[in-house]
Each structure stands twice: as C-alpha cells, then as structure tokens.
Amino acid sequence: GAGVSQSPRYKVAKRGQDVALRCDPISGHVSLFWYQQALGQGPEFLTYFQNEAQLDKSGLPSDRFFAERPEGSVSTLKIQRTQQEDSAVYLCASSSPGAAKETQYFGPGTRLLVL
Amino acid sequence: LAKTTQPISMDSYEGQEVNITCSHNNIATNDYITWYQQFPSQGPRFIIQGYKTKVTNEVASLFIPADRKSSTLSLPRVSLSDTAVYYCLVGFSGGYQKVTFGTGTKLQVIP
C-alpha cells in the first residue's frame, strides 16, 4: 500500500467499554510498532512486533492493553475496560529492518476519547 | 537509550533558515541521530538521519560535530507549511531498538 493506515480515525468510548484499533502496515514491512501520544507530548512506545512475534511489550501501561499481529501483517491494539486516562492518540508505525537505517513510517493515528 | 534535550519552541519568519539543536551527551558509538516532523493530527514523518559530519537531502541538512554530543537540524528558507513539531531521536540503526521521542521542538513560522 501507499502508507500505513489506521482505523478508525476517531473513537469515542464510554468508560468501561472495550475498544479495538486496527493498523495496516506498509506491505512487506516486518516490524510494527504501537505508540501512545498524549496531548502536547511526544509518542510513547507501547509494543513492538517482528512479523507475528511480539518481541517487546514493555510499554503497555496495564494488562488492559493487548496487541496482536496473528499473520504478521495487520495488527490490532485492544483496550479492555477503558478508563479516562486512556484518552490519547494511538499511533502505529512499520519499518523494514535491514543493513541500512531503520526508518519508521507512521500512520495518521486513532484519536481515542473515553468519556 | 540516550536522552535528548531540545528547545521546547521556536519562532521564525517565512523565508529564513531555521536551526534546531539537540543535545545527546550520552550517545553511544552505534547510535544514529534521526529527526522526525509531526503536523497536527498526523503521525510523525521521517526527515533526515545521520551518524557524523553533515547529511543533506531535499528537505533539510543535519550537522553533527566530531564529538557527536549534539546535532543541528537546518531547514532552509522555511515556509508556513513547515510549522510543526520536530523530534530528535538517538538510537541504534540496523535493528530493532525502542526509541524515545521526548517532547520535541514546536516550530512556529510567522508570515
């Protein structure tokens, strides 16, 4: 594809509701990252996949956050029992590691508002 | 992960050259320096990356002194569309490494 796409672009959830955010990386990109960006702050790392393997989930803020990439392409970030502090923009990025520089290509993000 | 320090904000008039400096005193031998640009309601976009001396592309130049403890992103003749947040990142290139964005520098270009 032309770039990383994310859906939905905006999501409003009631506190306690479960949400699922989707990321379609650039075709062929092995690496996939999820970030959380609070208003006025830089993106903060959540988790990293290499193909279908989740190699680093150290940034996930609680066990309510869960990410998967079952076939090594599309990824879903799921947040269970959403809380108001989960309100943020969730960014997905993909890259293709190799001998050269590993540049991350970001999607437009999903803006989540928890009421 | 090497920590970076950059100004919180900068203002510049249209047509001027803008230089944004980033400090990274504990940069490691294998670390590359990467700059991203982020517009409102968009994800960050890669601008430029370098290891030492000078790198130039169609968008910007990156100056890295010999000790590599700082770097300067140079944007020639900025326009209003360059108004954005600019992030300096330091990390190993050639494989996975969790990167830290920091708060970035908010550049406001004034007509």
Express each pLDDT in B42-90 by its tens digit: 999 999 999 999 999 999 999 999 999 999 999 999 999 999 999 999 8
Look up residue B106 and give its two tokens: 């908010």
Among candidates B34, B46, B104 on the partner chain, residue whose Cβ is nearest the Cβ of A42: B104
**B71 touching A (Cβ < 8 Å):** no
Q: Is B40 on the interface with A (CB under 8 A)?
A: no
CB distance B41–A109 less than 8 Å?
yes
B93 contact residues in A (CB cutoff 8 A): 100-102
Across the interface, whether the CB atoms of A50 and B96 are under 8 A apart is answered yes
pLDDT of residue B97: 67
Residue B105 is inside which H or E element, if any? strand B105-110
The mean per-residue pLDDT over the stretch A62-66 comes to 97
Q: Give the pLDDT of residue B103.
A: 84
Tokens of A68: 């998967």
Residues B18 and A52: their CA atoms lie apart, in Å, by 42
Q: How many CB pairs under 8 A join A and B?
A: 66
pLDDT score of A98 more than 60:
no
% of residues, chain A, pLDDT over 90: 83
Give Cα separations from A50 to A29, A96, B6, B90, B105 (angstroms). Answer: 9, 10, 31, 21, 31
Contact B19, B62 (CB under 8 A): no
The predicted structure's pLDDT at residue B95: 60
What rounded mean pLDDT belongs to chain A? 92
As a whole number of angstroms, the distance between CA A67 and CA A34 comes to: 9
Q: In terms of pLDDT, which residue wins out, B3 or B110?
A: B110
Q: Which of residues 18-47 of A touch B (CB under 8 A)?
A: 31, 35, 40-45
Please give the span between the terminal C-alpha atoms of chain A, in angstroms, as a whole number: 34
The residue among B46, B59, B90 with the most chain A CBs within 10 A of its CB, best to mutate, is B46
Q: Quick one: average pLDDT of A54-64? A: 94
| CA max distance for chain B | 42
Q: Do B93 and A102 make contact, defined as CB atoms within 8 angstroms?
A: yes
